[in-house]
Structure 1
């Protein structure tokens, strides 16, 4: 039974695969852009309107890369790397193309990232202070000076985004990203779409299926978030990962210590939200040994390992500057987030603290979205015209996009098929589960829309 008509939510990071290929000449669409050699393989640019509903208005240029087919060409597969805030061009070389040798692999830097009009909003010490600021639910309830400071910092963050990117920050929603994908498909190949989307890329794929389903020849969504409000906040997935690893108690103790006495790390300090972000970052891969070591270091007074992990999650560079993960991640998240006022943000934070007693409060509220424009329309998948099976891949122990959310998306999609990997970590493809890899490659290379695939688990 399919669920209908709820607003989009959820963000995630990504897991990509390893591989290599030898170049062969690409086959662009008639009158398509010229491809040239570049560090990512073959590169080009495609101009798209900032607002798809105003095609004659301001335009931005999307940076695109291709790894051409290394066998007689059968078509192209468009790849979304996840994120948001991640460069598709940089990640393209990591995609395993075993069994996909006859296909060009095409990826792009999503708007706001890399070569596609990047923006960071805050940078340097201002960004450090924003991310380090610790809050409790009691601060929100009593409107303490700490809460008033957080409110002001969030407003400054949003203003910095707008100063940096202009009205681009109003057009980062999944439907607009799907319009970008359609422009790339039409301009670069003109062929029916074959699409592989990782994590956040699954949300873009679902939006594309809704708007342009008749163009879909194959679609595989690896560990996507539910496009509707999930049954539990994302923090609950990270809490569950800590519990599975037997580390929840130690994590809670470290967070309590950093709240009362943040250990110094050079000229900075490991505050509670930074410690929580570091724990989140170290749950992604599924190997909790590094997390356990970071907790042991923090227990001994060394906050550097957790702070390094938090910096990586936020896109902080060694010189103290920040990449697009900081601004683009938050602004893109806000684009489809249903809450737009402080009361809704606090209610969502309170729900997260209840569902995730270890990390929920420590990760803090999402006040940045307060004041952002409301989504133009809720993202649904109720009316998709897709006629081929859409494969939804999911891992049972995924901390960032829990299995239940991917399962719900597969149920919502009229042709959704759930393929489950038994295992930990974010991402299902290329992680040793044969039924997952085989199903994905069969779907992406199928020449007949009637190819047979059913739910699998391994």
Structure 2
């Protein structure tokens, strides 16, 4: 599952004219200019495009266009390519935020470059058409009460897959992480860089590790933050994620309980969860303002797990709802809800590996997962269920770490709900010699976003010098947010 908003927020800064004219010798294949208004790029960002093969097995055939963005000086000696995760998230706004967050000795070293991966945003996007008619308002509950409710959800998933195939069928077989990694090498070449220096968050860790596997000789300094488990399929990772999300939700309920004088939802985490379950039942029977039912409440909870900075928003909205004011809950749905159909994300996930085609397998695995992760098992299944009916066959998965892959820098939160810490440990085993910066806490996306010198200092030193730490680094958690 993935929140509607990316982990990386857009940061405004200096005018686009601040991106200097590109030296012809530095990047002959790129022409940087002001970004088109519809890209909503932050000030100080320049944009360019490159063409890449739709099908790398026919590299001289049909080409598609990728849109790139950059922040910093085009006279910088090196380029740092960044990806915010997803899959399916735009990377146009990411360079300015990263560049603005770097200390001068590092920001002067790098032109920070982002891009919309193939199938996303301004890079030949997957289009699923108008799917609004597929989804009733409010949605049925995530955990079906009976076979009819489950079939209703299955039908929604099938219709969504059919809509994506109808509108983007020719594109779907080629929206893979392996192809996106090949695109990264085209970007490296267009930037006239001998090595790819790269920073990837969340799904971006899978993309970076795939690049390092396919192109070990041109892999430079690589930072992978909030690490995807390289040893399991996308289908299996969803069930792995469920338990991590459940644990993080219990931490959220404990946090609320510690502030009972503010929220009045219970003095222990278990009492808060009981109050939460009671509210879900009430919303299922009588949706708030006819819009927010139990499914929307579950989606808001899932979205809130990515960062504790959003905990006060949801806790406050729930508290006010229990006092008779539903307005905060309705507005929180807009802020914290999940996309109903994210065609770009489905395109990557559904083709990147094998998914069960028999619904009974999904049902049995989800029911089993619900025994330990009742808040998220069915929600997560419905978020990916269209992969059971996807209009493109699965592609062969790249075995990350196969061959002589160089070591990288890994960054991870111990209780990350979206990419559980086991993924970082397994990535370190898969890429021997890699170093892990492991922080307490559970926010998804650590480097530059936790204001934690223990995390940032070794990563910045690695980006500056190319030298990995001599040993792994353990860091304390950043302070939890106060109640608003």
Contact 1:384 1:414 in 2 (8 A): no
1:33 corresponds to which of 30, 34, 55: 30
Contact 1:50 1:58 in 2 (8 A): yes
Matched with 2:261 is none
Matched with 1:326 is 342
Matched with 2:369 is 352
Contact 2:80 2:199 in 1 (8 A): yes
CA distance in 2, matches of 1:19, 1:79: 17
User: Does the residue aligned with 1:427 lie in a helix, a strand or coil?
Assistant: coil
Contact 2:79 2:191 in 1 (8 A): no
User: Does the residue aligned with 1:46 lie in a helix, a strand or coil?
Assistant: strand
Determine whether 1:299 maps to 2:322: yes
Cα offset, 1:361, TM superposition:
3.3
Matched with 1:68 is 72
Q: Deviations over 1:120-171 (max 9, x none)?
A: 52546325438823243563xxxx2322222222111011112222222222
Cα offset, 1:293, TM superposition:
1.7
Q: 1:135 to 1:264 in 2, by over 3 A?
A: closer
Contact 2:240 2:420 in 1 (8 A): no
CA distance in 1, matches of 2:82, 2:416: 21
User: Does the residue aligned with 1:63 lie in a helix, a strand or coil?
Assistant: strand
Determine whether 1:269 maps to 2:298: no
Return 422-431 or 307-316, whichever deviates more.
Answer: 307-316
CA distance in 2, matches of 1:220, 1:422: 19
Contact 2:78 2:110 in 1 (8 A): yes
Indicate the RMSD between aligned Cα atoms, in angstroms: 3.0
User: Does the residue aligned with 1:32 lie in a helix, a strand or coil?
Assistant: coil
Q: 1:350 to 1:198 in 2, by over 3 A?
A: same
User: Does the residue aligned with 1:85 lie in a helix, a strand or coil?
Assistant: coil
Matched with 2:121 is 114
Matched with 2:38 is none
Cα offset, 1:66, TM superposition:
1.1
Matched with 2:458 is 439
CA distance in 2, matches of 1:420, 1:14: 22
CA distance in 1, matches of 2:93, 2:377: 32
Unaligned runs of 5+ in 2: 36-40, 257-268, 476-484
Counterparts of 1:176-195 in structure 2, within 5 Å, are 176-195=179-198
CA distance in 2, matches of 1:289, 1:315: 18
Contact 1:25 1:68 in 2 (8 A): no
1:378 corresponds to which of 386, 397, 406: 397
2:472 corresponds to which of 439, 452, 455: 455
Q: 1:362 to 1:202 in 2, by over 3 A?
A: closer
Matched with 1:281 is 303
Return 77-86 or 222-231, whichever deviates more.
Answer: 222-231
Matched with 1:425 is 443
Determine whether 1:244 maps to 2:251: yes
Contact 2:68 2:113 in 1 (8 A): yes
2:52 corresponds to which of 48, 53, 56: 48
CA distance in 1, matches of 2:127, 2:301: 23
CA distance in 1, matches of 2:129, 2:324: 29
Return 369-378 or 425-434, whichever deviates more.
Answer: 369-378
Determine whether 1:159 maps to 2:199: no
CA distance in 2, matches of 1:88, 1:33: 17
Matched with 1:319 is none
Q: 1:350 to 1:213 in 2, by over 3 A?
A: farther
Cα offset, 1:52, TM superposition:
2.1
Given the two structures, how large is their TM-score scaled by the length of structure 1? Answer: 0.84
CA distance in 1, matches of 2:138, 2:54: 29
2:387 corresponds to which of 369, 374, 377: 369
CA distance in 1, matches of 2:419, 2:88: 17
Contact 1:233 1:351 in 2 (8 A): no
Higher relative contact order (CA 8 A, sep 6+): 1
User: Does the residue aligned with 1:44 lie in a helix, a strand or coil?
Assistant: strand
User: Does the residue aligned with 1:370 lie in a helix, a strand or coil?
Assistant: helix
Cα offset, 1:443, TM superposition:
2.0
Cα offset, 1:338, TM superposition:
3.3
User: Does the residue aligned with 1:423 lie in a helix, a strand or coil?
Assistant: coil
Aligned residue pair count:
433
Determine whether 1:100 maps to 2:96: no
1:228 corresponds to which of 212, 224, 231: 231
Cα offset, 1:255, TM superposition:
4.3
User: Does the residue aligned with 1:53 lie in a helix, a strand or coil?
Assistant: helix
